[in-house]
C-alpha cells in the first residue's frame, strides 16, 4: 500500500508555494512537489520583477487587491524579506475604464489620482504621455525570486515537505482521494492524497488530461503561449520609473502594435517592457525560448516611440510562458478531491498570497471561491 498523505500541492511556482504557506499556517499537513529545481526559468514564476498593478474595478478583484496588500506585508514581516518595492503604477492611453478604476480603488481605500500628460511627463520623463494618466501609488514591483523561496521556507518551518525534482507522471482521481505516481532521482513512488491542489501552470491540462477514475475533472480551455518581453538599457540615468501599463491606441488603432504594453524597471537589468499575451501557442515541454522576430521588432518600435528614457537598440530578450483562460479570469475551484488553481498569467502574480488563501480554503472546505472563478462557468 502506498504512502497516505493529507494534501499534495502539484507545482511549486508562485501559487503552489503560496498555497503551501497558507495551509501550513493553519497547521495542515502539506506536501509540495515540483518537477524542476528551485529558481528554474522554464515556467512563469521566474525573474525579479512583476508589476503590482491595482488597475481593477470589478469588485472581486478589488477585494483581492486590498487583501493582497495586507498579505504581502505579512509575508515580509514573517520572512524578513522585502518582496514589494512601492514605486507606484501609472496606467495611460485611451482606456475608457480608467475613471471606473479610480472610483473603485478610492472607495476601497487604495489610492488613485489622475495626472495631466504634462504632470506625468515631469515626474516620469522616461515615458511619453499624450493623455491623462492614472497614478496608483500603492502599486509597485514584486520580486518572485525573493517571494517564492520565502513562501516555501516558511511553509517548511511549519512542517511542510517541499520536494523539488519530483514529477507527477500519473494522477488518478478516485471517489474520495487521489492516487499519484511520482518520479524523482530516488525512483518511482505511488502515494495517495486526501486531496490535491493542482497549480501546474502551463502543464495543468496535460496533468488533468491523464486523470482517470470515477471523478472527471473538466476546466475551461487553457491557452499556453511563449511570451517575449525585453529588458531595454536605461539611456536616461536620472529618470524615475514607475510600473506602467499603456494602451497605445484603441483596439482599431494599434497599427503595428500587438496589444497594450506593460513595463517596469528591473534593477540591474533595465526597463522591462512586453506585449500582453500575444505570443505563439506552445507546448511547455517543447519551447524554443527564441523571440518571435516581428513582435520583438515591433516592441523596439514601441520603445522608440513611447519610452524616450531607454535605448531601443540595446536590449536583452526574455522568454516566459502565459497560461490563460478565454475570459482571462482565473480558475479557482474544487472538483471532488481535486482543487485547481490555473489561468493566472498576465495579471495573477500580484494576487499570489490571496490565491494561496483561496486554494487553502477550497482544500479545507472553509469557503468557496468567488463565482467568477468557478470551473463550470
Each residue of 341-375: pLDDT tens digit?
999 999 999 999 999 999 999 999 999 999 999 99
Q: Class assignment of domain 3-46+146-220+327-373?
A: alpha beta
Of 283, 377, 365, nearest in space to 330 by CA: 377
Rounded CA gap, 201 and 43, in Å? Answer: 7
pTM assigned to the model: 0.96
Mean pLDDT computed over every residue of the chain: 95
Rounded CA gap, 257 and 298, in Å? Answer: 6
Sheet holding 84-85: strands in order across?
A: 50-52, 140-142, 84-85
Each residue of 90-136: pLDDT tens digit?
999 999 999 999 999 999 999 999 999 999 999 999 999 999 999 99
Q: Is the dihedral of CA 111, 117, 118, 121 positive or negative?
A: positive
What pLDDT does residue 233 have?
A: 98
Rounded CA gap, 208 and 200, in Å? Answer: 10
Q: Label residue 8 left, alpha or beta by phi (over 0 means left) and psi (-120 to 50 means alpha).
A: beta
pLDDT band at 257 (very low <50, low <70, confident <90, very high): confident
What pLDDT does residue 213 have?
A: 47
Whether pLDDT at 1 is above 70: no
- Please give the DSSP secondary-structure letter assigned to residue 218: -
Average pLDDT over residues 6-28: 98
Please state the separation of Cα 92 from the chain's center in Å: 22
For the chain, residues classed under CATH 3.30.9.10 are: 50-142+223-324
Average pLDDT over residues 274-298: 93
pLDDT band at 218 (very low <50, low <70, confident <90, very high): confident
Each residue of 141-188: pLDDT tens digit?
999 999 999 999 999 999 999 999 999 999 999 989 999 999 999 999
Whether pLDDT at 214 is above 80: no
> Is residue 127 within 8 Å of 121, Cβ to Cβ?
yes
> Is residue 336 within 8 Å of 216, Cβ to Cβ?
no
What pLDDT does residue 249 have?
A: 75
Q: Which residue bears the cell 504594453? A: 261
Whether pLDDT at 254 is above 70: no
Say which range, 40-44, 60-64, 128-132, 207-211, has the weakest mean pLDDT.
207-211
- Is beta strand 178-184 parallel, antiparallel or unpaired with respect to 187-198? antiparallel
For the chain, residues classed under CATH 3.50.50.60 are: 3-46+146-220+327-373
Rounded CA gap, 243 and 139, in Å? Answer: 8
Rounded CA gap, 328 and 341, in Å? Answer: 13
Percentage of residues of the chain with pLDDT beyond 90: 91
What pLDDT does residue 302 have?
A: 94
What pLDDT does residue 255 have?
A: 60
CATH of 50-142+223-324, one of 3.50.30.60, 3.30.9.10, 3.40.50.300, 3.40.390.10: 3.30.9.10
Of 142, 151, 18, 15, nearest in space to 83 by CA: 142
Q: Is the dihedral of CA 312, 284, 23, 153 positive or negative?
A: negative
Whether pLDDT at 25 is above 70: yes
Whether pLDDT at 321 is above 80: yes
What pLDDT does residue 256 have?
A: 62
Amino acid at each position: 500500500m502506498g504512502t497516505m498523505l493529507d494534501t499534495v500541492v502539484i507545482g511549486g511556482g508562485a501559487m503552489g508555494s503560496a498555497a503551501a504557506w497558507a495551509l501550513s499556517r493553519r497547521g495542515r499537513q502539506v506536501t509540495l512537489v515540483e518537477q524542476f529545481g528551485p529558481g528554474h526559468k522554464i515556467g512563469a514564476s521566474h525573474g525579479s520583477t512583476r508589476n503590482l498593478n491595482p488597475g481593477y474595478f470589478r469588485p472581486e478583484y478589488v477585494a483581492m487587491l486590498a487583501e493582497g496588500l495586507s498579505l504581502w506585508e505579512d509575508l515580509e514581516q514573517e520572512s524578513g524579506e522585502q518582496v514589494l518595492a512601492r514605486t507606484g503604477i501609472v496606467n495611460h492611453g485611451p482606456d475608457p475604464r480608467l475613471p471606473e478604476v479610480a472610483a473603485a480603488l478610492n472607495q476601497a481605500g487604495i489610492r488613485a489620482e489622475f495626472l495631466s500628460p504634462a504632470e506625468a511627463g515631469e515626474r516620469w520623463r522616461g515615458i511619453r504621455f499624450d493623455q491623462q494618466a492614472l497614478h496608483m501609488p500603492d502599486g509597485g514591483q514584486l520580486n518572485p525570486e525573493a517571494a517564492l523561496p520565502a513562501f516555501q521556507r516558511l511553509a517548511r518551518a511549519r512542517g511542510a515537505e517541499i520536494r523539488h525534482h519530483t514529477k507527477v507522471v500519473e494522477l488518478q482521481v478516485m471517489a474520495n482521494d487521489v492516487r499519484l505516481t511520482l518520479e524523482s532521482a530516488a525512483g518511482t513512488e505511488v502515494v495517495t492524497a486526501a486531496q490535491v491542489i493542482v497549480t501546474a501552470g502551463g502543464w495543468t491540462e496535460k496533468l488533468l488530461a491523464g486523470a482517470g477514475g470515477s471523478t472527471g475533472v473538466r476546466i475551461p480551455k487553457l491557452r499556453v503561449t511563449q511570451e517575449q518581453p525585453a529588458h531595454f538599457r536605461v539611456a536616461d540615468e536620472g529618470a524615475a520609473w514607475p510600473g506602467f501599463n499603456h494602451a497605445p491606441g484603441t483596439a482599431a488603432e494599434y497599427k503595428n502594435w500587438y496589444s497594450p504594453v506593460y513595463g517596469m524597471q528591473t534593477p540591474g537589468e533595465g526597463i522591462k517592457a512586453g506585449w500582453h499575451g500575444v505570443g505563439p501557442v506552445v507546448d511547455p515541454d517543447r519551447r524554443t525560448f527564441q523571440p518571435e522576430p516581428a513582435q520583438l521588432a515591433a516592441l523596439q518600435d514601441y520603445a522608440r516611440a513611447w519610452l524616450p528614457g531607454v535605448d531601443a537598440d540595446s536590449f536583452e530578450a526574455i522568454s516566459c510562458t502565459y497560461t490563460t483562460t478565454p475570459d482571462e479570469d482565473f480558475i479557482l475551484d474544487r472538483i471532488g478531491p481535486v482543487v485547481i488553481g490555473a489561468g493566472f498569467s498576465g495579471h495573477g502574480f500580484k494576487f499570489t498570497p490571496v490565491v494561496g488563501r483561496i486554494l487553502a480554503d477550497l482544500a479545507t472546505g472553509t469557503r468557496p471561491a468567488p463565482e467568477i472563478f468557478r470551473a463550470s462557468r
